Amino acid sequence: MIELESISIHFSGRPVLQNLSLQVPAGRIFGVLGGNGAGKSTMLNIILGFLKPDSGRVRVDGVDPGRNAADARARIAYIPESVALYPELSGEENLAYFAGIAGCRLSAVETRRLLNRVGLRDADAPRRLGQYSKGMRQRVALALALARQARVLLLDEPTTGLDPEAATQLATLLRELSSEGAAILLTTHDLWHLSLDTDEIGILRGGCLAAQFHAADLSPQQLAQAYLEPR
């Protein structure tokens, strides 16, 4: 579903990604761990078609986002660290509005059902988004992904600012979506949740995929050692 093959890109002659390759098939969660400047945002922007690599091959559900960005983005739900929705509208109004822009006309019943599915209660749905926590705003964005039936989910630092309960609820929902066939790629600094909540882990360092592991093979402590003490 997500394929990056030997991707390289330079900014002002400086390498930002170097020969980066990874794959995220349907039904899997791939977590990319990397510090500031490692190339995580550049990688996401290439997948979304906002940047074109200097070399290499990119496919999103078989579509090249560099050549057909609109088609690729139609298959993607992108959830940034700070979800940009309208704070003066309610959760259900935001969902109905953005789903309509994406061509999905939702009834009031369907809107409420989707919000319930992502863990927002009936009492939360009519509240203004400005009263929502970060985790609740993320759930509205995930409800939009469900409405659009997005096959690929990209999440940028999804657990930053979440309390343990909200982070656990998010992980449970992502597991449900992956079990239904979604391919999920997330970037994070969160060592603990990365090792517990993903299937594959890649360490991005200096624009290169320095290491890749099966998440089940590493404890959070072992992952921290691999990240902080590279061989």
Q: What is the CATH number of the domain that holds 9?
A: 3.40.50.300
198 is a domain residue: yes
The reported pLDDT for the residue numbered 196 is 73
> Which of the listed residues 130, 150, 170 is the one where a domain comes to its end?
150
State whether 159 and 144 are in the same domain.
Answer: no
Give pTM, 2 decimals: 0.89
The reported pLDDT for the residue numbered 131 is 92
The reported pLDDT for the residue numbered 14 is 93
Contact 8, 17 (CB under 8 A): yes
The reported pLDDT for the residue numbered 36 is 84
State whether 157 and 67 are in the same domain.
Answer: yes
> Which of the listed residues 103, 123, 150 is the one where a domain comes to its end?
150
Q: DSSP states of 152-216 as a string?
A: EEEEESTTTT--HHHHHHHHHHHHHHHHTT-EEEEEES-HHHHHHH-SEEEEEETTEEEEEEEGG
115 is a domain residue: yes
Q: What's the structural domain count of the chain?
A: 2
State whether 127 and 104 are in the same domain.
Answer: yes
The reported pLDDT for the residue numbered 231 is 52
Q: Which of 160, 154, 186, 175 is nearest to 30 (CA)?
A: 186
Q: At what angle do helices 134-148 and 91-101 cross, to 10 degrees?
A: 40
Task: Give me the count of residues in the chain.
Answer: 231
- What string of pLDDT tens digits covers the 231 residues of the chain? 999 999 999 999 899 999 999 999 999 999 999 888 889 999 999 999 999 999 999 999 999 999 999 999 989 999 888 888 999 999 999 999 999 988 889 999 999 999 998 888 889 999 999 999 888 888 898 899 889 888 999 999 888 777 788 888 888 889 989 999 999 999 987 777 777 789 999 999 989 999 999 988 888 888 888 888 765
Contact 178, 184 (CB under 8 A): yes
State whether 98 and 70 are in the same domain.
Answer: no
Domain hosting residue 179, numbered range = 2-75+151-228
The reported pLDDT for the residue numbered 84 is 83
